[in-house]
């Protein structure tokens, strides 16, 4: 059948906003309980909650939703959360699960197989401050669960302390805070949960402190566990101000493993617990770790018989099995090209969460005894003909001073529609959040929503992104609002210069730190016709004063020390440079956002009031940092498309009109 010719952006598409929203999110926080595999999974259509899912070992072993609504398995530790559950087999049979419930942040225990059981029972008390005592990265030990405790001491976001704590499983602390044992003294501001040695004699964990972020510098702490369950002799055995330790694990044989970037790349090391000596098990200019935004992220997982499952690569990570004695590394077979930092092991089987340009994230099992890999959970089902999916092109562009910039280009694509030969497509530059993060080229229906309509997308892993070594991510040190803006602009200009994109129909969009980049780009480049700015940072000084504790001093590394921050804020903040913005934009904001509070958006809009800049502000009740509800995502996607249609001169009647007013 001959293709129909229609202008770019006007193509019909079976991928509507409701479909994209319904499939948003991915499985997280894999774990094994005996021979069962468990994980958390999003439910956008159920007010964005996350549930626990289990897969029993029976083949094919259907997955089962273990917790009905309204249970929401999600921690608020440092606002970004972390591993929210732990489980173990009970001697009496059946698993015992402990999890954090988002609504009240209490820890709960439940036994899903107990006959006539009462359901989850609380283990921890409520707190009047900070939205509750917050818990993450738990591990079960005897009659207790050990984890990170975050406790607010006052009304400010930085009035907080964090310690390792032991919570009794008998429920005696559910109404009595004094029954919770504190295992550390709170000397360090931030901490992961403990990893316990197989013999039960030692605990290891990672800490860091202001003004560093964990990828700047962190420390591996080690302590002995006394007979009465206390930690003694705590000491640092690896890491420091210029070395970032991303993960620590014990092997079944009792060796201590860690992921460190002491050589410029996150590589796996065997660490001597007594001397702190570290041996690189696989020296490569590749990443075997990543930014520790949340405790409980896992890039390596030791197997019982010696090998170690690892995620490794440049940019995207793939799953491999490492022989720690020889350094040999064999990658798993299969179509998956990007794996998330969550791994679990049961016997010879490794479980992970992986995706590809043709498949969304799903739970994958690798049998290391046979080399066979298969999908065992959250299996992707194509909701439309895959012919509508875009084909990403991973490319390297040159920026100022000929520095390399990594990006993934998604050209407009439709199996039955094309544009006229003399028309160039509009393109949207996507700037990811973080900024210490990166985006892999995998199937994302939010991208396909635009490309299937004839609007190209390019995701830019600008300088400062992770996945390409420490030097690449430190390009942004002191240069936030400069390097990220320049790199996105360099990619956009390159696409226009080579005839891939229409230079008059370029847009930029981003959320969180990407929202900063999008807004700063409007204020400084004059390159973009419009922008979608999503739960953004807009004011450096305001961000430092109003954000949550984890990032309250992040701006010092990104823009400069406190004594120069006011100057940098005037030079770079979109709030301070709003008078330079002339292009239309839509600003999308969650009203419950504790990371980028709506006060920043309101100040930005107040500065623009009375100026002839067409824009729209869409605020969402009940949404925080990162949209989770299906109805929110539908409205946000449709608002974004309406903006592009109006600015790019595209006729569409399938989305509500976004009203743009000065």
Residues 525 and 394 in one domain: yes
Q: Going by C-beta distance under 8 Å and a sequence separation of 6 or more, which residues neighbour residue 111? A: 90, 94, 95, 96, 97, 117
Q: Looking at residue 424, what is its pLDDT?
A: 98
- Joined together, the tokens standing for residue 600 give 């920043």
The span from the CA of 281 to the CA of 225, in Å, is 28
Domain limits at 90?
74-183
Q: Going by C-beta distance under 8 Å and a sequence separation of 6 or more, which residues neighbour residue 118? A: none
Residue 335 lies in a domain: no
Q: Looking at residue 384, what is its pLDDT?
A: 96
Q: For 432-490, what is each residue's pLDDT tens digit?
A: 999 999 999 999 999 999 999 999 999 999 999 999 999 999 999 999 999 999 999 99
Confidence of residue 93 (pLDDT cuts 50, 70, 90): confident
Residues 548 and 415 in one domain: yes
% of the chain with per-residue pLDDT over 70: 99
Residue 610 lies in a domain: yes
Q: Looking at residue 4, what is its pLDDT?
A: 96
CATH of the domain at 225: 2.120.10.30
Cβ atoms 487, 399 nearer than 8 A: yes
Q: For 553-577, what is each residue's pLDDT tens digit?
A: 999 999 999 999 999 999 999 999 9
Residue 67 lies in a domain: no
Residues 189 and 158 in one domain: no
432: buried, middle or exposed (CB in 10 Å: 19+, 13-18, 0-12)?
buried
Cβ atoms 354, 361 nearer than 8 A: yes
CATH of the domain at 624: 3.40.50.1820
The span from the CA of 32 to the CA of 158, in Å, is 35
The span from the CA of 278 to the CA of 275, in Å, is 9
Residues 139 and 194 in one domain: no
Instruction: Taking residues 345-351, report their average pLDDT.
Output: 97
Q: Looking at residue 129, what is its pLDDT?
A: 86
Residues 539 and 442 in one domain: yes
Confidence of residue 260 (pLDDT cuts 50, 70, 90): very high
Residues 553 and 528 in one domain: yes
pLDDT at 149 over 70: yes
SS3 for 324-337, per residue?
CCCCCEEECCCCCC
Q: Looking at residue 59, what is its pLDDT?
A: 66
Q: Which helix (H) or strand (E) holds 147?
A: strand 144-152
Q: For 646-657, what is each residue's pLDDT tens digit?
A: 999 999 999 999
Residues 276 and 395 in one domain: no
Q: Looking at residue 3, what is its pLDDT?
A: 87
Q: For 153-163, what is each residue's pLDDT tens digit?
A: 999 999 999 99
The span from the CA of 651 to the CA of 657, in Å, is 11
The β-bridge partners of 397 are 405
Number of structural domains found in the chain: 3
Residues 245 and 168 in one domain: no
Residue 262 lies in a domain: yes
Cβ atoms 402, 393 nearer than 8 A: no
> Of 156, 183, 210, which residue constitutes the final position of a domain?
183
Q: Looking at residue 575, what is its pLDDT?
A: 97
Residues 514 and 587 in one domain: yes
> Of 128, 149, 183, which residue constitutes the final position of a domain?
183
The span from the CA of 407 to the CA of 390, in Å, is 15
pTM above 0.85, yes or no: yes
> Of 275, 308, 341, which residue constitutes the final position of a domain?
308
Residue 556 phi, psi (nearest 5): -65, -40
Cβ atoms 9, 455 nearer than 8 A: yes
pLDDT at 83 over 80: yes
Pick the closest to residue 457 from 469, 446, 465, 467 (CA basis): 446
The span from the CA of 390 to the CA of 472, in Å, is 28
Q: Looking at residue 130, what is its pLDDT?
A: 85
Q: For 299-343, what is each residue's pLDDT tens digit?
A: 999 999 999 999 999 999 999 999 999 999 999 999 999 999 999
The span from the CA of 288 to the CA of 341, in Å, is 10
Residue 408 lies in a domain: yes
Q: What count of residues does the chain have?
A: 662
Q: Looking at residue 270, what is its pLDDT?
A: 98
Residue 411 phi, psi (nearest 5): -70, 155
Residue 314 lies in a domain: no
Q: For 480-527, what is each residue's pLDDT tens digit?
A: 999 999 999 999 999 999 999 999 999 999 999 999 999 999 999 999
pLDDT at 419 over 60: yes
Residues 228 and 298 in one domain: yes
Q: Looking at residue 154, what is its pLDDT?
A: 94
Q: Looking at residue 1, what is its pLDDT?
A: 57
CA dihedral 256, 261, 266, 268 (to 10 degrees): -20
Helices (H) and strands (E) in the chain, counts: 10, 39
Residue 59 lies in a domain: no
Q: Going by C-beta distance under 8 Å and a sequence separation of 6 or more, which residues neighbour residue 82? A: 75, 136, 137, 148, 192, 193, 294, 295, 296
Residues 163 and 257 in one domain: no
Residue 46 lies in a domain: no
Residues 199 and 235 in one domain: yes
Q: Which helix (H) or strand (E) holds 57?
A: none
The span from the CA of 536 to the CA of 519, in Å, is 8
Task: Give the residue with greater pLDDT, 119 vs 226.
Answer: 226
Confidence of residue 545 (pLDDT cuts 50, 70, 90): very high
The span from the CA of 499 to the CA of 497, in Å, is 5
Q: For 594-616, what is each residue's pLDDT tens digit?
A: 999 999 999 999 999 999 999 99
DSSP string, 523-543: HHT---SEEEEEEE---HHHH
Q: Looking at residue 306, what is its pLDDT?
A: 95
């Amino acid at each position: 059948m001959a293709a129909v010719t229609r202008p770019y952006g006007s193509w019909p598409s079976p991928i509507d906003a409701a479909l994209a929203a319904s499939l948003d999110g991915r499985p997280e926080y894999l774990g094994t309980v005996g021979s069962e595999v468990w994980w958390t999974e999003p439910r956008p259509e159920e007010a964005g909650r996350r549930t626990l899912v289990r897969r029993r070992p029976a083949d094919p072993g259907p997955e089962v939703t273990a917790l009905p609504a309204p249970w929401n398995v999600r921690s608020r530790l440092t606002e970004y959360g972390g591993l929210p559950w732990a489980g173990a087999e009970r001697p009496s049979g059946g698993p015992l699960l402990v999890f954090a419930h988002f609504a009240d942040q209490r820890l709960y225990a439940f036994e899903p197989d107990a006959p006539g059981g009462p359901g989850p029972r609380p283990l921890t008390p409520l707190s009047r401050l900070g939205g509750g005592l917050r818990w993450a990265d738990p591990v079960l030990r005897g009659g207790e669960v050990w984890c990170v405790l975050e406790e607010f001491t006052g009304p400010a976001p930085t009035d907080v302390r964090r310690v390792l704590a032991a919570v009794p499983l008998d429920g005696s602390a559910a109404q009595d805070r004094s029954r919770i044992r504190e295992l550390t003294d709170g000397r360090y501001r931030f901490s992961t949960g403990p990893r316990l040695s197989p013999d039960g004699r030692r605990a290891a964990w990672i800490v860091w402190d202001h003004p560093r972020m964990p990828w700047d510098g962190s420390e591996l702490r080690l302590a002995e566990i006394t007979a009465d369950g206390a930690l003694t002799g705590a000491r640092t055995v690896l890491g420091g101000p210029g070395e970032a330790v991303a993960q620590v694990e014990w092997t079944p044989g009792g060796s201590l493993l860690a992921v460190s970037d002491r050589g410029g790349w996150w590589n796996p090391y065997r660490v001597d617990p007594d001397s702190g000596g570290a041996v690189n098990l696989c020296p490569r200019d590749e990443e075997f770790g990543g930014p520790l935004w949340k405790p409980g992220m896992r890039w390596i997982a030791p197997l019982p018989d010696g090998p170690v499952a690892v995620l490794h690569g440049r940019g995207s990570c793939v799953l491999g099995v490492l022989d720690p004695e020889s350094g040999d590394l064999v990658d798993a077979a299969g179509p998956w090209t990007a794996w998330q930092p969550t791994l679990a092991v049961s016997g010879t089987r490794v479980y992970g969460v992986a995706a590809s340009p043709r498949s969304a994230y799903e739970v994958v099992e690798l049998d290391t005894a046979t080399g066979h890999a298969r999908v065992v959970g959250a299996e992707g089902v194509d909701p439309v003909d895959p012919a509508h999916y875009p084909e990403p092109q991973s490319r390297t562009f040159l920026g100022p001073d000929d520095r390399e910039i990594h990006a993934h280009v998604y050209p407009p694509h439709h199996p039955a529609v094309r544009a006229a030969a003399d028309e160039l497509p509009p393109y949207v530059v996507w700037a990811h959040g973080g900024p210490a993060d990166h985006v892999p080229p995998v199937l994302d229906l939010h991208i396909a929503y635009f490309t299937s309509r004839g609007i190209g997308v390019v995701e830019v892993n600008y300088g400062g992104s992770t996945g390409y070594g420490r030097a690449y991510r430190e390009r942004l040190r002191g240069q936030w609002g400069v390097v990220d803006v320049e790199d996105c602009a360099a990619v956009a200009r390159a696409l226009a210069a080579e005839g891939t994109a229409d230079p008059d129909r370029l847009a930029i969009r981003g959320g969180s730190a990407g929202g900063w980049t999008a807004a700063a780009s409007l204020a400084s480049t004059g390159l973009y016709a419009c922008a979608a700015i999503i739960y953004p940072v807009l004011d450096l000084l305001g961000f430092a004063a109003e954000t949550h504790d984890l990032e309250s001093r992040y701006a010092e590394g990104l823009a400069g020390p406190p004594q120069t921050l006011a100057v940098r804020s005037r030079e770079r903040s979109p709030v301070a440079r709003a008078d330079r913005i002339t292009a239309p934009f839509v600003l999308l904001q969650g009203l419950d956002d504790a990371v980028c509070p709506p006060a920043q958006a309101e100040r930005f809009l107040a500065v623009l009031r009375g100026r002839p800049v067409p824009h729209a502000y869409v605020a969402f009740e009940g949404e925080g940092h990162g949209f989770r509800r299906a109805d929110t995502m539908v409205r946000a996607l449709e608002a974004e498309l309406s903006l592009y249609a109006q600015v790019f001169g595209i006729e569409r009647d399938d989305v509500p009109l976004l009203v743009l007013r000065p």
